[in-house]
Chains A and B, each alone.
Chain A
């Protein structure tokens, strides 16, 4: 049983007009997003794909309590680490995991030190990790919605996936 930890304190951290938490997958090709969608098929989870870190940060500004899955590549190590370090102060409700090719496995502990809650080198490791993502989304504070927004969110065509 997952505890619902959301408190008034958490809500206070959501800027006005924020969107609900989502999963943001930033990668080059889409293989991690496909695998993650499969793992999360039974859950009602909004998953967005981006191809650049700056696009991910843009989405994060809209949904500041999101879960980021960031692909580490030989060319983005430095911006990714700098971004992860800033994430803790800029978006304290967000969490991030790092996924990478097996050849970059040596970066696991550096990525964790930068704040990654997990480091995966194969989509086959996703199954237990998907549960962690679901826990994060359940614990994430929900934006305060007006009655109209609440009704809108309940409509089958009311929100875009």
Chain B
């Protein structure tokens, strides 16, 4: 692996190497054995190391438990096979070892992917807001204080929470447990927290895990007391990151939130602005989402036409970054040329641009009979389709007689009038 024992000795291992981990630290991070290695004098497991080109390579290792002067298990000696395992061979080898080894290998694979996905430098943008967010995330990742991430829907609150967790120094990253407070309801949130407090994930005992309380502003005030008690208990094993759509201080002022819970959750507060307030980042963000699609698909699209970028710039982006990602994905599907043009963008973006350019005319009128006839045509068409063109059945679905349906079909031009011979 390119390092001597002296380089590796004394360093702590974890399931993944942090974004900043390089060299010997990254190697040691990959050497982390399953917890079962401590319970037997000798065991085998698959360990991983990162090659200079970024590939994660795996080798079989034999772990020998060593005791200290007091005869307590204190060290593990890892003896590595000289050859790397082929891709896919690692999971098979782990499966053959034991269920625990397989879970360990999967956890490692997952953490490697998650760590790459949630790197701080993936919080893109060159606007002052983007730079501030990256600096705050970096600060929060180096601390164990509670963090509150506030932002409108789609602004990347969960991404920021995960980036804080996975960017922590490599030796301290444990499990990440997200809870969706807005749908789980107080009972399920509380029972999951109690399960975490009484029987935490095994890994949380040796590494520091994170609880992410999503939409924490949605927890009803009557359930907040119990939540405060659970989270402030010394026995609670995880660091807390919360996300919210609105400021908890504002809710406290309105008497809708317990101040002690707001204080407990918000040691560090990170506010994410709506995308409309950082329009300067739009071209970079749109291009990044496009590159993700290019990397996956057979189609390669180089970018956006200047006119398409103008339309993106004029749209209010109520769904923020998530909406931008959805718009880029829809446009990518439609695009046939080398660039995404105005015509490839979803129609709601054009409608928004038109609405801004031409305010609605209140005196615009309709012709009621024509309007109702259009609806009738559509309903009869659909009933005929549902009835597989059987007029008697379609008439029953529409609550009319067959002769009346037939007359309407002819009158509305949905079937040809039979010619008289």
Contacts and interface: CB of A to CB of B under 8 A. Distances in A.
A147 B371 CA distance: 11
A135 B318 contact: no
Interface string B312-349: 00000111101101100110000000000000001110
A118 interface: yes
Contacts of A135: 182-183, 185
A132 interface: yes
Interface stretch (B40-48, B56-64, B105-113, B301-309): B105-113
Given A7-B318, A92-B154, A109-B177, A81 B106 contact: yes
A110 B110 contact: yes
A76 to B, nearest CB: 12
Nearest to B195: A108
Interface string B58-102: 000000000000000000000000000000000100000001100
B387 to A, nearest CB: 9
Contacts of A117: 178-180, 183-184
B106 A13 contact: no
B175 A109 contact: yes
Interface stretch (A27-35, A36-44, A49-57, A151-159): A151-159
Contact of B110 (A3, A113, A133, A151): A113
B331 to A, nearest CB: 11
A15 B154 contact: no
A135 B180 CA distance: 11
Interface string B207-218: 000000000001
A132 B348 contact: no
B117 interface: yes
Interface string A63-82: 00000000000000110011
**Which of A11, A78, A132 has the most CB atoms of chain B within a 10 A radius of its CB?**
A132
Nearest to A136: B183
Interface in B3-53: none
B1 interface: no
Contacts of A11: 318-319
A122 interface: no
A67 to B, nearest CB: 9
Contacts of A48: none
Give the size range of A's interface with the partner: 35 or more
B153 interface: yes
A42 B411 CA distance: 43
A145 interface: no
A9 B319 contact: yes
Contact of B397 (A77, A114, A118, A157): A157
Nearest to A133: B183
A74 to B, nearest CB: 9
Interface residues of B, number: 51
Contact of B188 (A107, A115, A118, A136): A118
Nearest to B375: A148
B158 interface: yes
Interface in B147-191: 152-154, 158-159, 175-180, 182-185, 187-188
Contacts of A107: 103
A48 B40 CA distance: 47
B188 A128 contact: yes
A159 B319 CA distance: 28
Contacts of B203: 109
B114 interface: yes
Contacts of B106: 77-78, 81, 110
A9 B110 contact: no
Contacts of A90: 329
Interface string A140-152: 0000000110011
Residue with the highest number of chain A CB atoms closer than 10 Å, among B188, B322, B346, B386? B322
Interface in A1-21: 3, 5, 7-16
B279 to A, nearest CB: 16
Given A85-B113, A88-B158, A128-B188, A13 B323 contact: yes
A16 B183 contact: no
Interface in B344-378: 346-348, 374-375, 378
A113 B176 contact: yes
A13 B184 contact: no
Contacts of A77: 106
Interface of B: 91, 99-100, 103, 106-107, 109-110, 113-114, 117, 152-154, 158-159, 175-180, 182-185, 187-188, 201, 203, 218, 317-320, 322-323, 325-326, 329-330, 346-348, 374-375, 378-379, 382, 386, 397
21 contacts: A9-B318, A12-B154, A14-B326, A16-B330, A16-B347, A77-B106, A81-B106, A88-B158, A88-B159, A89-B325, A90-B329, A109-B203, A113-B114, A117-B184, A132-B180, A132-B188, A135-B185, A148-B375, A148-B378, A148-B379, A151-B375
Given A13-B319, A113-B177, 18 more contacts: A9-B153, A10-B153, A10-B154, A11-B318, A12-B317, A12-B323, A13-B326, A15-B326, A78-B91, A88-B159, A106-B99, A109-B177, A112-B178, A113-B178, A132-B183, A135-B182, A135-B183, A151-B379
